[in-house]
Structure 1
Amino acid sequence: MANFSLALLFLFVSLFSPFLPIKAQDLHKIRFKSPGLYPEGLTYEPTSQRFIVASLQGNKFISVSGSGDTLTLTLNSPEISPNSTILGLAVDHRNHRLLAAINSFSSPFIASFNLNQSSLDLHFLALLSPSIGIANDVAFDDSGNAYVTNSDKNFISKVTENGTVAVLSNSSRFTHNPVHESPYSYCGLNGVVYVNGFLLVVQSNTGKMFKVNTIDGTATTVNLPLDLKLADGIAVKDDGIVVVVSMNKAWFLRSVDDWNNGVVVDEIALDENGYPTSVVVRDGRRVYVVYGYVQEAITGNSQEREWFRIEEIRMKKETEEGSLLWVVLLVGLGLGYFFFWKFQMGQLVKNMDRKRL
């Protein structure tokens, strides 16, 4: 009887635990070793269930497991210079390829790689036109088109699945707002994500978010209650929540009118010392940021860093509700087990009474 009861309890937890919110102390934290990497971009490959990061200075791509094991992806592409700067990354899982925003020899490129388990085979390397500025982030749509932001010149390129490049948008909206004074005032359009047929793009030096039509490049400013100062990476969850990260903060945003307007659902502090730059959504609901300590590479720190971090983040409300739900479920399980035990004991007494008769 005891074994049967424990089996029922185990079955219940096994079935429902994947759907339960995660408590703050259970947030997934990954430390991985890759000397001198200083990764700026972050993406997730669902087939292998591994993250992919790349070197800020060089041509190195690393696959990182959930436990922090690393695998250097063999780059079968001499076209990618070892003097490159690799920024935004995106996995197009439908076409099983990796997209990368690369800057090399003072020119912006997009690279498309066929993604294998342990290697990258170059599909195409396309010079972004006009060949000026900084290729920063990359996203893709359901048809395989890629979109690359240029943070220096404030325009967005559209690249077909076969590598044909065109300027999608250089809207005057991108230079309409005043620039915030900061050491990063040179950095304009940055993170980009594809949502329901359009792009959402954040601008670091103004804190604005733009909605961009992927057909004609028309851009409108998303009406938000505040500026997302020094906004960098952006990602979207399956429930429609958009997550934007800066070097010290993450905002969780929602819209009910297809991103003409948006509201801030929550904001949380991030570790500024780790200099988070990119955010990615895993399994449609779990949000991760990369702490690549990029500022150390930019300022030329005297000692090369070896260890970096990828960490899960969550809204405060989700964490609080998750803790409360766990309490309720545990109490419910306890009561259920008690009543089941009481029923079983009643049956046992009845059976013993019958035997005496």
Structure 2
Amino acid sequence: MKIVKNAGRMVLLYSIIGLLSTNVFAQLPKEVLVKSPGLYPEGLVYDATTESFFTTSVSQGKIVKVSKKGKVTVFADDEDLVSTIGLEIDVKRNRLIVCNSDPGASIKSTEATKGKLAAIVFYNLKTGKREKYIDLAAIAPLGGHMANDVVVDNKGNFYITDSFSSIIYKVTKRGKATILINDKRLASPAGTFGLNGLAYHPDGFLIVALYNGGRLFKIPLKKPSNFTEINLGNKPFPTIDGVLLLDDNTIAVACNNLTGAKYPSAVYKVKSTNNWQSANTIGVFETGDTFPTTLTKADNDVFVVYAKLPMLFGGVKPVAQEFEITKVEFQKKK
């Protein structure tokens, strides 16, 4: 009987080992190849429930779902989408929130929307059904507008940056839109991209990037006008695109080159020890000439999407045939 019991235990042990091995092999690869000609993705989020990524398209105005093996399926492609930019998952309410804009490089661009469109769209995360369309430009002063990135707080409110103005919008979980802040100190020179990536900090403030100039701002949600610029010391990057909170004291920022300046694109790890009054770069992941835009957490790792947008805005033919979603592996900053 003892032999039988031990044999049973051995079978159980091997079963557990098998399950653990299967789990290891099920981990995300270091790189997911997105074979979708002319997609030019910009935003990126990871859905842990389906173990897949969602990304957008500056050129085609749609949202696609990408499996960890690279299988691409269209999640949403309704007629009102011109250029889809940043996006966010609202897990509690089973929603995907997407920024809809027109920077002028989409097959759906028109003179009526180019440089003026700023909206967000709510989709049911499971069905892809559109639930709400909110025109942000309708509540903003006249001028250029472009909804760029979106983040959700712990109460279900959304915050959206406008790259062609000095505005950050707030949208409640029920869809009421207001202007959180409109301040000229958050503007950039005409003809350049301004407000870009942002992250919500659980202590009640936003960390927001200004693309041109590579600056970061701390914006308290209770009194946004009391915002401050985060001191980055020796200014290690001239642009900042995506921003991702890694923990309360650490963020990752994606830096690329749409300005013509000569410097390498990369993802940086940035740490603060004084509640984001200042911060220093502690790690770097060089990406080569790929134009990294947005970052997301997937399992315990960070992934970045290579958008290759200079090809799109430069009119390069033939169009890029594939894009990469790549695991970020930071090296200590020298």
For 1:220-299, what aligned pairs fall within 5 Å after superposition?
220-227=228-235, 228-238=237-247, 240-247=249-256, 248-272=265-289, 274-283=290-299, 285-299=300-314
**Aligned AA (2:183):** S
Alpha-carbon shift at residue 221 of structure 1 (Å): 0.6
Task: Answer whether contact 1:198 1:211 (CA < 8 A) is retained.
Answer: yes
Superimposed CA distance per residue, residues 212-266 of structure 1 (whole angstroms, 9 cap, x where no aligned partner): 0122213101122232321100101246420001120111011222211212111
Which residue, 181, 188, 195 being the options, matches 1:189? 195
Distance 1:226 1:11, change over 3 A: farther
State how far apart, in whole Å, the 2-side matches of 1:207 and 1:157 are.
21
SS in 2 for 1:142: coil
Task: Answer whether contact 2:99 2:121 (CA < 8 A) is retained.
Answer: no
State how far apart, in whole Å, the 2-side matches of 1:266 and 1:142 are.
28
Task: Answer whether contact 2:62 2:83 (CA < 8 A) is retained.
Answer: no
**Aligned AA (1:187):** F
- Structure with greater Cα Rg: 1
Which residue, 207, 213, 217 being the options, matches 2:220? 213
Alpha-carbon shift at residue 86 of structure 1 (Å): 1.4
Distance 1:290 1:257, change over 3 A: same
For 1:13-92, what aligned pairs fall within 5 Å after superposition?
14=20, 28-75=30-77, 77-78=78-79, 80-81=80-81, 84-92=82-90
Alpha-carbon shift at residue 185 of structure 1 (Å): 7.0
Distance 1:185 1:253, change over 3 A: farther
Alignment-derived partner of residue 342 in structure 1:
none
Structure 1 moving runs of 4+ over 6 Å: none
Alpha-carbon shift at residue 147 of structure 1 (Å): 0.9
CA root-mean-square deviation = 3.1
**Aligned AA (1:188):** G
State how far apart, in whole Å, the 2-side matches of 1:147 and 1:190 are.
11
State how far apart, in whole Å, the 2-side matches of 1:47 and 1:126 are.
30
TM-score, scaled relative to structure 2: 0.80
Task: Answer whether contact 2:43 2:55 (CA < 8 A) is retained.
Answer: yes
Alignment-derived partner of residue 201 in structure 1:
208
* Greater CA drift, 114-123 or 152-161: 114-123
Which residue, 173, 179, 182 being the options, matches 1:170? 182
Alpha-carbon shift at residue 300 of structure 1 (Å): 1.1
State how far apart, in whole Å, the 1-side matches of 2:286 and 2:301 are.
17
Alignment-derived partner of residue 330 in structure 1:
none
TM-score, scaled relative to structure 1: 0.75
Judging by fraction of residues, say which structure has more helix. Answer: 1
Equivalent pairs, count: 299
Mark the runs of 5 or more structure 1 residues left unpaired by the alignment. 319-357
Distance 1:239 1:85, change over 3 A: same
Task: Answer whether contact 2:293 2:306 (CA < 8 A) is retained.
Answer: yes
State how far apart, in whole Å, the 2-side matches of 1:152 and 1:261 are.
26
Which residue, 137, 140, 145 being the options, matches 2:149? 137
SS in 1 for 2:217: strand
SS in 2 for 1:279: strand
Task: Answer whether contact 2:52 2:68 (CA < 8 A) is retained.
Answer: yes
Mark the runs of 5 or more structure 2 residues left unpaired by the alignment. 1-5, 103-112, 257-264
Task: Answer whether contact 2:33 2:70 (CA < 8 A) is retained.
Answer: yes
Task: Answer whether contact 2:148 2:162 (CA < 8 A) is retained.
Answer: yes
